[in-house]
Structure 1
Amino acid sequence: MFAQRAAQQSLRRLAASNPQASQLVFKQFAAPAVMGASIQTRPVATQKMTPTDSYEILVAQRKLRPIAPHLTIYRPQVTWYLSALNRITGSVLSGGMYIFGSAYLISPLLGWHLDSASMAAAFASWGIVAKVLTKFTIAMPFTFHCINGLRHLTWDTGKTFSNKTVIQTGWAAVGLSVASALYLAIL
């Protein structure tokens, strides 16, 4: 911005102090239209139209506009699914936290027992398969969202952002998520 103002001021001072020298500068740098040499013009044709006629032309022009292709014409890729799953797991985790937090706050008013001891005793009474499945169901979105978040953070640094590495890191994120969720579920 400062450089533009400085250049404008110097050209103005040159034009004010020495008109012949300023015309040489303008011939070199300015467009021909400024010097009056040849001005390009384009005739404009207008006509009076009724509002219905102009609307019909607008509708006809809209029919000729290109339409953005829908996702169904493209071949599905792992990056699509992982992007969608990252958003879904983030929503599930935050929604679950808000629902449980709200239930925990209003539980004394409703007579519910959501304190840690009651929940641990209730969970301990379940069978081993139910415990593992519940723990896996809770751990999987958490681990996937965390690992995929780390993947996105590395993208922000500009690393691993080629097509090949994006696909490789995507499958690595899926594998690590499943393995860590299984580990947490078995604990």
Structure 2
Amino acid sequence: MFSQKVAQQSLRRLAVQQPTLMQSAMMRASPAAIAIGNTQKRLATSSPNTEDPNQILAKQRLNRPVSPHLGIYRPQVGWIMSSLHRISGISLSGPLYLWATAYLASPLFGWHLESASMVAAFGALPVAAKILIKTILALPFTYHSMNGIRHLTWDLGIGFTNPTIIKTGWTVVGLSVTSALALAFM
């Protein structure tokens, strides 16, 4: 409150004493500086710069230090697993949305995506192809599920030490591969 009164009084004093300079002073100085009488003035440069501002900026960018990227860091289990968790989530949800849309649109286009025709088509495949397809479908699902449990324990505040993160990371990899193969051979 007191600072507002000081600022108002200094602006009024300036308006009465020098009405022509009031607008330029208000744009350049703070009210406290006007109250003290300490307004600074910037002198114009003697030679105007005729160089293109974009060229000046390009030259300045060349002198800036370059920030290091992921190439300087040693790969660690934590950030690789976190990246794969996001990738597996996208790789699971994308085809699910596409298949659900195709399933809903199949009567309109005459496609046969009902369960009986899909079971018959999958049953006609060789055993090696069935195992390969089931492994490809099960691996992202089991990995995302196991790593999701790991992330939920982190949300509870459990397991944030580096040795625990490394152990649980490799445990998730082992469990997801084992469970994916178990699902594939069922």
Residue aligning to 2:125:
126
Structure 1 gap segments, 5+ residues each: 1-7, 9-42
For 2:129 and 2:41, how far apart are their aligned partners in 1? Answer: 77
> Could you say what secondary structure the match of 2:159 adopts?
coil
> Could you say what secondary structure the match of 2:94 adopts?
helix
For 2:55 and 2:122, how far apart are their aligned partners in 1? Answer: 68
Q: TM-score, normalised by structure 2?
A: 0.69
Superposed counterparts of 1:41-80, under 5 Å? 48=45, 49-50=48-49, 52=51, 58-80=57-79
From the superposition, tell whether residues 118 and 58 of structure 1 become closer, same or farther in structure 2 (CA, over 3 Å): closer
Q: CA deviation at 1:96?
A: 0.7
Q: CA deviation at 1:47?
A: 5.0
Q: CA deviation at 1:126?
A: 1.4
For 1:81-101, what per-residue CA distance to the aligned partner results, in whole angstroms no more than 9, with x for missing partners?
Answer: 212211111111110111101
Residue aligning to 1:108:
107
For 2:135 and 2:100, how far apart are their aligned partners in 1? Answer: 21
Residue aligning to 1:84:
83
For 1:84 and 1:186, how far apart are their aligned partners in 2? Answer: 28
Q: CA deviation at 1:74?
A: 1.6
CA-atom RMSD, angstroms? 2.6
Residue aligning to 1:155:
154
For 1:173 and 1:73, how far apart are their aligned partners in 2? Answer: 26
For 1:153 and 1:139, how far apart are their aligned partners in 2? Answer: 21
Residue aligning to 1:171:
170
> Could you say what secondary structure the match of 1:50 adopts?
coil
For 1:137 and 1:109, how far apart are their aligned partners in 2? Answer: 30
For 1:72 and 1:172, how far apart are their aligned partners in 2? Answer: 26
For 1:42-86, what per-residue CA distance to the aligned partner results, in whole angstroms no more than 9, with x for missing partners?
Answer: x99865353738766655543443322111122122223212211
* Mean CA deviation greater in 86-95 or 70-79: 70-79
> Could you say what secondary structure the match of 1:182 adopts?
helix
Structure 2 gap segments, 5+ residues each: 2-39
From the superposition, tell whether residues 47 and 165 of structure 1 become closer, same or farther in structure 2 (CA, over 3 Å): farther
Q: TM-score, normalised by structure 1?
A: 0.69
